[in-house]
Amino acid sequence: MTQPPKGARRSYGVKAAPYGFLLPAAVLFALFFALPIGYAVWLSFHKVEIKGLGLGKGARSEVWAGLENYASALTDSEFLASALRVLGYGAIVVPVMLGLALLFALLLDSERVRGRSFARLAIFLPYAVPGVIAAVLWGFLYLPDVSPFHYLLEKAGLPQPDLMDGGPLYLAMSNIAVWGGTGFNMIVIYTALRALPAEVYEAAKLDGCSELQIALRIKIPMVVPSLVLTFFFSIIATLQVFNEPMTLKPLTNGIPSTWSPLMKVYNDAFTGGNIHAASATAVVLALATFALSFALLRISNRRTTQGASR
């Protein structure tokens, strides 16, 4: 108290400190998020104009293209086909994966189920397996000469479908995503379940509720927020699927190089060399992700406020 300068310096330190701590994150965000996003948006509104024969310096210049790239992106049949494929794929992956994640989380939370710690670890294990490697493993398991499914079908005298073409391809691709993603989502839901107060169940049990009734009437409604969260992350991951189809592609002729929207973007940018069109497609994809995310957030907010005012 006899040293006002020191006190003043300290309060200045307290004021400046948070900005100092945030500096590395802010710089990295600016360099590797904000700048690239800005650049992608800029690219999406420009195109290359070639003057004359396109020879010599200054013959190629980037000019304003307006919404031209967006118009061609949205009418590109390859892009639309890839978007449809991913919708079909997502319609399988998201409900199956989250359904299994919820089921396993509820089973892990039930005292009468045995082998819970083993199962928890085993189901979580695929999280540690890179998507590329998961696709390699399943890809081989889908090959007719290697696959145990084909072996069993052959023994049973049943027809053996090609798992990596046509309709079965959707199931094969979805299976990889379900296998890889169920564990993480299970942990998220299980964590929420364990955070619920035990008295609620005790009371329900005394009232004669069965475990199943408790799960359906109490546990599931109370973990809705984490279900929304997992739903959210699953949708984003589905829209961005790239590694798995890219890895399966060399094993089959059934996967075109523009199977998913991201593959289409990659193909345009790095094989076709049209970075402007690719940027426009990427921006469309980002906007679709945002639109879906905000719609989901609104729905879930309405849900939680309803729950709170109940």
User: What residues from 89 to 118 belong to the interface with another protein (CB under 8 A)?
Assistant: 100, 103-104, 107-108, 110-116, 118
Query: Which span (50-58, 127-135, 216-224, 299-307) binds another protein, by CB under 8 A?
Result: 127-135
Least Å from the CB of residue 273 to another protein: 12
DSSP at 59: S
Tokens of 248: 């399966």
Least Å from the CB of residue 84 to another protein: 18
Tokens of 31: 């360099």
Count residues binding another protein (CB under 8 A).
106
What are the residues whose beta carbons fall under 8 Å from the beta carbon of 234, sequence distance 6 or more?
93, 94, 97, 98, 181, 185
Cβ nearer to another protein, comparing 93 with 269: 269
Cβ atoms 275, 258 nearer than 8 A: no
Cα–Cα distance for residue pair 98/178, rounded to 1 Å: 9
Alpha helices in 240-274 (DSSP H): 243-248, 261-266
Interface pick for another protein out of 63, 157, 199, 309 (rule CB under 8 A): 199
Cβ nearer to another protein, comparing 52 with 210: 210
Tell me which residues in 171-190 interact with another protein (CB under 8 A).
179, 182-184, 187-188, 190
Interface pick for another protein out of 194, 217, 298, 302 (rule CB under 8 A): 194
- Identify the bridge partners of residue 301 per DSSP, sorted by sequence position: none
Cα–Cα distance for residue pair 214/275, rounded to 1 Å: 54
Largest interatomic CA distance in the chain: 94
Least Å from the CB of residue 303 to another protein: 19
Tell me which residues in 4-43 interact with another protein (CB under 8 A).
10, 13-15, 17-26, 28-29, 31-33, 35-37, 39-40, 43
Tell me which residues in 41-80 interact with another protein (CB under 8 A).
43
Cα–Cα distance for residue pair 302/117, rounded to 1 Å: 36
Cβ nearer to another protein, comparing 150 with 169: 150
Cβ nearer to another protein, comparing 53 with 206: 206
Cβ atoms 185, 230 nearer than 8 A: yes
